[in-house]
A and B are shown apart, each in its own frame.
Chain A
Amino acid sequence: MTILANSNQPKSNDNDLITAVIDGIAVRVPKGTLAIRAAEMLGIEIPRFCDHPALSPVAACRMCLVEIEGMPKPQPSCAITLTEGMQVKTQNSSQVASSAQEGVMEFLLLNHPLDCPTCDKGGECPLQNQAMSNGRADSRFEGTKRNFQKAININAQVLLDRERCVSCARCTRFADEIAGDPSLELLERGAKQQVGVADDQPFESYYSGNTVQICPVGALTSAAYRFRARPFDLVSSESVCEHCASGCSLRTDSRRGKVLRRLAGDDSEVNEEWNCDKGRFAFRHLMQDRITTPLVREHGELRPASWPEAIRYAAEGLRNQRAAVLAGGRLTLEDAYAYSRFARVALGTNNVDFRNRTASSEEQDFLTNHVAGTGLGVTYQDLEDAQVVVVIGFEPEEESPIIMLRLRKAVRNKTLKVIAIDSANSLGFKKLNADLRLTKPGNESAAISELIKDLQDQNSIILVGERLASSHGAFSATVAVAEKVGARIGWVPRRAGERAAVDAGLLPNLLPAGRKVFEPRDREVVASAWGVSVEHIPTKPGLTQLEIISSAVQGEIDAIVTAGVDINDVANHAAFAAALNKTFVVSLENRASSVIEFADVVLPVGAITERAGTFVDWEGRLRTFDAVMQESLALTDARVLHLIAIELGHTFKDDAKVTSLRSSYSSLGAVSKPGTMNLVAASTTKTGLVLAGWHHLLDNGSLQAGEPHLAATARAVVAKVSSETAQANGLISGNRVIVRSKLGAITLPLEISEVAPETIWLPLNSEGSSVAMQLQIDIGAEVSVSDGGAI
């Protein structure tokens, strides 16, 4: 019974209010308000199935019939807009309404299997609940119920039991109106009507799990949760998704310390009430391959150790060494803040970088001046209200799927135009009806400069993705255009922890909250917040991740502290491995990772469900959450770092509690206006065939481990080129193509598609296409291709 700020309820405007009467109570509502919504405001609950505040009304289930004075028949309150003076009588005050509702409920139960004892929905089922509140005590139906084959797959992850379905069309409307994947439809007619998909066309949608959540009966269930638990045995906790920078609010349901399912949480400002299938279904990583005890390396082998031993071991290895910190994208704001402080004070270094991916100094400059410490910037609502949103180096559906839903909502309302500057077309761009400007990687800045004519005098927003770091001059061009036309810029990284890492100062030139290493005043403020003297914050400029790796290989770095870093994510992983091999490595990790084989000491930290914290989403919005597993004894990264720091003889003003770190961070304040970025010119246009690509939402990402049903809904792994490129390189559609760099090759089926000229597009980390591992290059690098023969 949700009331959404952005639901099918008109926006309030004082001049446009009308007064209607429901069950004798006068209510003043905006013109166009639906009777059922107004009743909700009064606390009057009208039973319903097909009604959903975020979907267009269909008035199909007829459960919400009410009596309206002057109308001969009972009317569906989900589709009746109130008019001045309208007198509505619900089941509470009208015999007509209550008998109509009872009649509809009797009909709905006619063909319903009443298998509640074995149904996953039992205990949290609107049909069950409303049958109790608005139904007859028993059924008069003595006939044979309609039979369907029991649960069938509508995709690998979602199952449909048509016998339980009440034909409310919520799922089909969600698929069409919200997700834009309309392959789920009602088929047949009459009592044979059923939800279904075409034979050769499963419901392929990154948002398919939402249909399970909004199904008002047990007709749609997920392979992951089916028959696993009863709702009344579950403990529900509010949480925040760790998978990307969308920042979805989640509800995590657990039983006896084990997460059994996750649902989208209600947050009208962020994810409304949707989430993507990755956020919903990929949670087995929380329990799989966990490291449960500290490990130290002895005679070349890792062996279990006690915490005091492991902490001492780590401290000794780090003491007075030339050290660096590589803390990746999984961190909360509080943990990132602790790493930032630990590096500066305990290790005495600015050698800190969170970017375990393609990065550039231009990007660093952009992040320093336009992102770090700026607080809440462009918001979801801003996207919805804008006239033009430009996405550059950012495919919303694949890289931050809730942004896609919000953009699509505005595009469907015909208020927003989306322009995309990217290397290839995609389903997401098509669903956004995007004006796609196919751009060869490296040429973005020229395409960006041409935006001026599109954005002049428009309420416009430019969203830039982390992929843009591979294109020289692109950030500069974006900033220049934005300044010229007054557009606002939003930076959308892929990982959940990246924005927090920027804000916490996990960059060699940055201290927390946008404070700069080279600004004496900033150093003083930060030192005072940390309770250390300002000399404890090093002034020597630090190294970036790339520099740290090469310095370590050359023996100029002795020790590295890593967290949430997978060496296989970067093209120079061979050098990365060599660097780790040569140095003393302290790894703070919750699961086995590619770093562990190089680690000298492994310190296990809690998974995201085992601790409180804050993610910062792409908007810069703080997404604070509590531990799901309140009884967990797992430590946070911050707590572990604190123990090492104490061992190294350092103390801070605050302890390592999440709340202490949070208030310490917020005491630093926010940056009031953007800094001045050093704009760089684009490099000369690249000639020859270059590599493009992005990560599919569902791919080989390590947080998706152990989810076979989810993995089966991933998009097909293919290489894409334009027909011109295919022709020029002798490639044949439907054949395989072999893509070669100097260091390796990838062979994939070829698809002729809309791709920028002289460009071949690959998924960056999918089955059989791990670009960093196999080709060891970044996007924008030159490749050669050849036909790989028939499949």
Chain B
Amino acid sequence: MTTPLVPNLTLHWDDADSHTLTGYQRHGGYSALKKAFTAGADGVIQIVKDSGLRGRGGAGFPTGMKWGFVPQNDGKPHYLVVNADESEPGACKDIPLMIANPHSLVEGVIISSFAIRANHAFIYIRGETPHPIRRVRAAVAAAYQAGLLGKNIQGSGFDLDVVVHSGAGAYICGEETALLDSLEGRRGQPRLKPPFPAVAGLYASPTVINNAETIASVPAIINNGADWYKSYGTEKSPGIKLFAVSGHVKRPGIYEAPLGITMRELITYAGGMKSDLPLKFWIPGGSSVPMLTADHLDIPLTYEDMAAAGTMLGTGTPMVFDTSTSVVKAVIRWIEFYKHESCGKCTPCREGTYWMVDILKRMEKGKAQLSDMDLLVDISAQISGRSFCALGDAAATPFPAALKYFKEEFEEVIKMAGAQA
């Protein structure tokens, strides 16, 4: 049985004007807003809780529960911050979403802000990608024009201002507390927790930070109900998700499907392997999660099944590599990325990535020894779980995962280089 695709956010991307207010409203856009106002703030939180929506930024934290952490009637301003700083190697779902359907995000922002009693929302978009920034800015401007943002939105008495903020080119700013520091005008480095953002986030006020896809999913849930959403996916991973398939497939792109679809199915939807070479390895959701092989193609893409397989669903943006790829070079590129993006705050990530790249570069040049593999495993272990934020853990992931399946290839590269020398 093949899992069918369920276009929801992507349904009208073929329309020439899908990014405009007219295009969005032609298909019922902003109708969820009225329902949300009728349901009331607590009602919206309940619906989102019931839907089982989990954060689409990688960690998969239940969204409704996150909203519920925000203290009510505390006299402080609340903020909604949308994390659209999509920078993970291999992750490319929020950017196309914001290009093709920015109003779903804007409507989601309004409903979510209403639910958590925020009158000020920020959309933090990766700075290297000007096109989605332009599209979201235009969408926000159009929403203001149409009375969907600003004072007393649609007579509901609810006020909301939205700021679209462009990042300045740091991967770390996708980490939610670093993002907050960056938004406040500081250097982007992660903050000590507690306090958690729900209690003291942006400007030390209660703040909800959600991924762009998560927020964009909210209008459909309000429109169609929690049960509709839950009818897709599994019990622990309900709903539908954007799967951005990239790499050695014939038709890389966004495939919107229920959670639980398998990689084999996604590759089929993507037209099969690019040069009809066999698949060598794949990564479920960005370079931060451990790789899998052809043996794992039939495991359902859910939070729980991926965890059981020793990896993570992550952002749900699978990268596919065929046998023309050197796993050694792939690992080197990823770790170089983490070294380049390490913010420098904590020792393990700052120094550990520096060291790993040093060894891997040596390996690439044929100057490594077999014992360096143990050393790299050791260094990864010295970073993992000891760094300040998840970035260090991410940097410690690729090598041990690659070694698990491709130890011989590493040994071969080292030995071959030795023979050449």
Contacts and interface: CB of A to CB of B under 8 A. Distances in A.
Given A62-B388, A74-B385, A190 B343 contact: yes
Nearest to B384: A73
A189 B350 CA distance: 8
Contacts of A146: 354
Interface string B326-340: 000000000000011
A167 B386 contact: no
Nearest to B392: A62
Given A61-B347, A107-B352, A186-B344, 9 more contacts: A57-B192, A62-B388, A100-B386, A103-B348, A103-B382, A107-B350, A189-B172, A190-B342, A193-B350
Interface string B167-193: 000101000000000000001000010
B344 A190 contact: yes
A58 B192 contact: yes
A528 B381 CA distance: 78
Nearest to B374: A140
18 contacts: A58-B345, A60-B345, A60-B346, A61-B347, A62-B348, A62-B386, A73-B386, A79-B192, A104-B382, A108-B351, A110-B354, A141-B358, A185-B187, A186-B344, A189-B342, A191-B342, A192-B344, A193-B343
A146 B358 CA distance: 11
Contact of B375 (A79, A100, A140, A144): A140
Contact of B351 (A65, A110, A186): A110
Contacts of A79: 192
B353 A106 contact: no
Contacts of A185: 187
A63 interface: yes
A191 B340 CA distance: 9
Interface string B374-399: 01000001100111100000000000
For the residues of B in contact with A, the DSSP-based class is: helix
B346 A61 contact: yes
Contacts of A725: none
A456 to B, nearest CB: 27
A204 to B, nearest CB: 21
A141 B344 contact: no
Contacts of B353: 190-191
B388 A107 contact: no
A140 B371 CA distance: 11
Contact of B355 (A104, A141, A166, A189): A141
A57 B194 CA distance: 12
A111 interface: yes
Interface residues of B, number: 30
Contacts of B350: 107, 167, 190-191, 193
Contacts of B351: 107-108, 110-111, 191
Contacts of A72: 385
A188 interface: yes
Contact of B348 (A107, A140, A166, A191): A107
Nearest to B193: A79
B341 interface: yes
A729 B189 CA distance: 51
A51 B172 CA distance: 23
B369 to A, nearest CB: 10
B354 A190 contact: yes
Nearest to B343: A189
Contacts, number: 96
Contacts of A63: 347
Interface in A43-57: 57
A63 B386 CA distance: 10
A454 to B, nearest CB: 26
> 5 tightest A-B contacts by CB?
A193-B344, A103-B382, A143-B358, A107-B351, A190-B342
B362 interface: yes
B359 interface: yes
Contacts of B352: 107
Contacts of A103: 348, 381-382, 386
B387 A107 contact: no
A230 B203 CA distance: 47
B386 A191 contact: no
Contacts of A188: 344
A59 interface: yes
Given A73-B386, A110-B354, A140-B375, A190 B192 contact: no
A475 B339 CA distance: 64
A140 B358 CA distance: 12
A74 B386 contact: yes
Contact of A189 (B344, B348, B375): B344
A108 B358 CA distance: 16
Contacts of A104: 347-348, 382, 386
B394 to A, nearest CB: 14
A509 to B, nearest CB: 55
A65 B388 contact: no
Nearest to B352: A107
Interface in A149-185: 166-167, 185
B388 A59 contact: yes
A136 B246 CA distance: 43
Nearest to A106: B382
B170 A189 contact: yes
A111 B347 contact: no
Interface string A65-93: 10000001110000100000000000000
B187 A190 contact: no
Contacts of B346: 59-62
Given A107-B352, A190-B342, A190-B353, A166 B347 contact: yes
Nearest to A169: B345
Contacts of A100: 382, 386
B359 A143 contact: yes
Residue of B345, B347, B381, B382 with most partner-chain A CB within 10 A:
B347
Given A190-B353, A191-B342, A73 B347 contact: no
A62 B347 contact: yes
B356 to A, nearest CB: 10
A192 B382 CA distance: 20
